[in-house]
Structure 1
Amino acid sequence: MTVVPQPLADISTEIVSGIACGKSRVVADGVPHLRPFSVTGDGALSTSDAPLIPASAIPKGRLGFRPGDILFNNTNSVELVGKSAIVSDSLHASFSNHMTRLRIDESKANPGYVQAFLWHLYRKRYFEARATRWVGQAAFGTTQIKAIEISLPPLDEQRRIVSLLNRAASIRRRADAARAKACAIVPTLFLDMFGDPATNPKGWSIGKLGDTSDVQGGLQVTSKRSSLPIEMPYLRVANVLRGVLDLSEIKSIRLTDAEWRRTELVAGDILIVEGHGNANEVGRAATWDGSIDQCTHQNHLIRARPNRECLLPEYLTSFLNSFSGRRVLIGDGKTTSGLNTISTRNVKAVPVPLPPLALQTAFAKQAQRIEATARSLDAAATKAEAMAAALSAEVFGS
């Protein structure tokens, strides 16, 4: 049987925009006013930071959500337009005029199926390509939303598909929660074994990072490199955010033989974020695991190669990411044209406590076990996401 696509307007009982509400109307005790950031990057709904406004300020028909309502982000920076989340329980809240509430006719479509379709379009950048743009903002209007066409299999099939997609999303959420717990264990373990580096309560000897590690800058990325003789994969700041490595997207760069010898990474090297628009990311450090052969790094990452006769990578990375380590590391940083930076000289001057290697080794073994557990959780989540993506492509089209 041929399934004829239907516009969302034909399978919805309402598609309405929310209301504008300035800061002057925010009160201490009122109704949550959901805004674009209330829809998270993975399609969940968060009300924790929503401002409160008086219920009396909300027009009829713009207050409250039913289970199955879809909240669509129709105005934002262009890459965030089209995010959506489904409401799982009744919710006493209003919503911004930058959002649209879709209420699906459940005799025609499963709301979860419709939201999965909208999320599929979002991942394909459907809304980004069709949004109206102006300085710093973009919009995908209510009229455009109503005109989106969706092919609907029988309701039982829609529910089956939603169940499979929800199962994959649940695995991802559990893996993220477990990884967050694992990541929180390592800093606690560090403080328990070595004490706070700021006060050095265990009296470890102190050495400058530049005296205990080989510290080098990276390669400046310019268009003039196209004729250079060697091509290698390289790591960017985007690969070293939040103190962990993300190798999902690796680019390549051309360089000279001398640059290769100077900047090639080896397992155990530590990459430190030298410059970033977000000050909270400057100084974040991650250990390179050697998983890509002949890899280098850009100039906004500083490489520290610890002398393993006095420092182990796992210890040094945890020290640099500790509150006290970061405070020393970024203390002399500066901001230029919106970019927060630290220098190689700053990094070399950082004082590092030097506990006995045996204690560092014991810490490293425990940290490695925790990281191995986190990686296995990530692998399970990645597999589930791949299955969900394949199912979405099969159901909704690639």
Structure 2
Amino acid sequence: MSLRTARLDDICEINPGMPKSLDDSEIGSFLSMAAVSEGGRINFEEERPVAAVKKGYTYFERGDVLLAKITPCFENGKATRTAALGRPFGFGSTEFHVLRAANEVLPDYLFYRIWNSSFREFAAKNMTGSAGQKRVPVDFLRRLEIPLPPLGEQRRIAAILDKADALRRKRKRTIELLDSLTQSIFRRSFVERHSSKWPVHSVESVALDARTGPFGSQLLRSEFVDQGISVLGIDNVVTNEFRWGERRYISEEKYAQLHRYTVSPGDVLITIMGTCGRCAIVPDDIPIAINTKHLCCITLDKEKCLPEFLQATFLQHPDVLQQLGVQAKGAVMPGLNMRIIKSLTISLPPINLQMTFVKEILSLKAMLMSSRIAETTTASLFSSLQSRGFSNQL
């Protein structure tokens, strides 16, 4: 049996507007775009009087569905349900479309119908405006046809997706907690319990070698080939973990000229161009590879300093961040070069304390990897359930 469809403007009001009867002194909820996460959750709710927000903001009522209409918020999936807000009405960013479900459609079902990748891909093709300021036009939403099963089936589909989404959120939260725990272990071990007896060394003094990649005519983009010796760049380091991004290769003949730029397992890579200050460790299973001029590669004397300790120190230690001119970990550094990196001074704890730290974080990283695999699986399941739910297969 074919599934009934309906135009969106036949089953809900779109951007219905504020009633004239609303008094200026009444208090409503207020949602900025930042208050809504890309996962559809409301992170925080403010309250403001009508007089302060009735002009220049979008009116909605509790139970409405909000959909971001502007790039990049729309592509990132910013949409939310307002049923749990503390006030019966509210105001939000003018970059929200407001969808108010009528009797034939449940708000939860409507939310999931517009909060999925297939809808976003289709809507993105119908956006209007300039390249940097494209928006989902209201006329597109009005004409949009969506599957519309009976209310009982809508309720069942939304309940299944709620459970799958809750599991997806838990997986994501587990990863966030593990990341936070890694940072806490470093702070507990080497910042809060810092010993004045630990010697202070420059990065250069604990390194066997520090170098950047080939400059200028030593390596041209036109010399990259389809397969051969790997060439590492910013994309391999930008997440502060080594990851394969864009694959670049040079021939073995070219490598013979550039072999002095070879990276080795355990080397510490730091970005010095583009997004400066990202840091990753070369993994043990790295194939033969060199780094580009965008990276500083440090080979450590591991009897003095372990790669995991240096990476954590570089990214998290407040003394090092202060030397680098940033106020907090994770900030983009204003400028960085090999001279600055080599001259950084670090408080160096005994190697046995470093080894204990490494053992702890390697255990956490194993858990983190398992959690990320589980998150990927859960996200795929959620996406599959969404697709099946809206094609009468759930």
Q: TM-score, normalised by structure 2?
A: 0.79
Q: CA deviation at 1:364?
A: 0.9
Query: Is structure 2 residue 222 aligned with structure 1 residue 232?
Result: no
2:37 matches 1:43: no
Tell me which of 147, 155, 160 is aligned to 2:156: 160
Pick from 82, 85, 91: which aligns with 1:87? 82
Is residue 120–residue 396 contact of structure 1 (8 Å, CA) maintained in 2?
A: no
Greater Rg over alpha carbons, structure = 2
2:308 aligned residue: 314
For structure 2, the residue ranges without an aligned partner over 5 or more in a row are 19-25, 327-331
Counterpart amino acid of 2:69?
A: N
Q: What pairs up with 1:1-398 in 2 under 5 angstroms?
A: 1-12=1-12, 14-16=13-15, 31-47=28-44, 53-57=48-52, 63-67=59-63, 69-77=64-72, 80=75, 83-92=78-87, 93-105=90-102, 107-121=103-117, 125-134=121-130, 136-195=132-191, 201-213=195-207, 214-218=209-213, 223-226=221-224, 230=228, 232=230, 234-237=232-235, 240-241=238-239, 243-245=240-242, 247=243, 250-255=245-250, 256-258=254-256, 261-276=259-274, 282-290=276-284, 293-294=287-288, 297-322=291-316, 323-330=318-325, 340-396=334-390
Q: Distance in 2 between matches of 1:222 and 1:18?
A: 57
Which deviates more, 227-236 or 345-354?
Answer: 227-236
- Specify the SS of the correspondent of 2:269: strand
The code of the aligned residue for 1:326 comes to L
Q: 1:39 to 1:18 in 2, by over 3 A?
A: farther
The superposition leaves residues 245-284 of structure 1 with CA deviations (integer Å, 9 ceiling, x where unpaired) of: 5x4x72111323147744554443323232346xxxx423
In the superposition, relative to structure 1, how do residues 30 and 104 fare at CA in structure 2: closer, same or farther (>3 Å)? closer
Please identify, of 179-188 and 291-300, the stretch whose mean Cα deviation from structure 2 is larger. Answer: 291-300
For the Cα contact (< 8 Å) 1:196–1:324, is it kept in 2? no
**364-373 vs 225-234, which moves further:** 225-234
**1:134 aligns to what SS in structure 2?**
coil
- Identity among equivalent positions (%) equals 22
State the SS of the aligned residue for 2:129. strand
Distance of aligned partners of 1:383 and 1:210 in 2 relative to their CA distance in 1, 3 Å threshold: same
| Cα shift readout 1:74-125 (whole Å, capped 9, x = no counterpart) | 13448648631222413432122221111122x4233333222222246753
CA 2–260 in structure 1, closer or farther in 2 if over 3 Å, else same: farther
Q: Amino acid of the residue matched to residue 93 of structure 2?
A: S
Q: Deviations over 1:157-178 (max 9, x none)?
A: 4333333333332233223333
Q: 1:148 to 1:70 in 2, by over 3 A?
A: same
Aligned residue type for 1:387: L
Deviation string 1:180-204 (CA, Å, 9 cap, x unpaired) is 333233333323333469xx63321
Give deviations 1:273-332, integer Å, cap 9, x for gaps: 32346xxxx42323343466456555433333322111112211111112222222357x
Distance in 2 (alpha carbons) for counterparts of 1:139 and 1:80: 10
Contact 1:35 1:98 in 2 (8 A): no
SS at match of 2:314: helix
Tell me how many residue pairs correspond in the alignment. Answer: 368
- Partner AA of 2:105 in structure 1: A
CA distance in 2: counterparts of 1:153 and 1:265, whole angstroms: 58
* Letter of the 1:240 counterpart: V
Q: Name the CA shift for 1:138/1:312 in 2 (closer, same or farther; >3 Å).
A: same
Q: Secondary structure at the match of 1:137?
A: coil
State the shift of 1:40 in Å.
1.9
Call closer, same or farther: CA 1:362–1:101 in 2, change over 3 Å: same
Q: Does structure 2 conserve the Cα–Cα contact (< 8 Å) formed by 1:265 and 1:295?
A: yes
Indicate the SS of the match to 1:6.
strand
- The code of the aligned residue for 1:113 comes to Y
The one-letter code of the counterpart of 1:33 is F
Looking at structure 1, the residues matched to 78 and 247 of structure 2 have their Cα atoms a distance apart, in angstroms, of: 31
Deviation, 1:152, is 2.6
Following the alignment from structure 2 to structure 1, what is the Cα–Cα distance between the partners of residues 225 and 370?
A: 41
Assess, with a 3 A threshold, how the Cα gap between structure 1 residues 168 and 240 changes in structure 2: closer, same or farther: farther
- The 1:210/1:377 distance shift into structure 2, 3 A limit, reads same
How far the C-alpha of 1:149 sits from its partner, in A, is 1.6
Taking the aligned partners of 1:315 and 1:194, their CA distance within structure 2 comes to 10
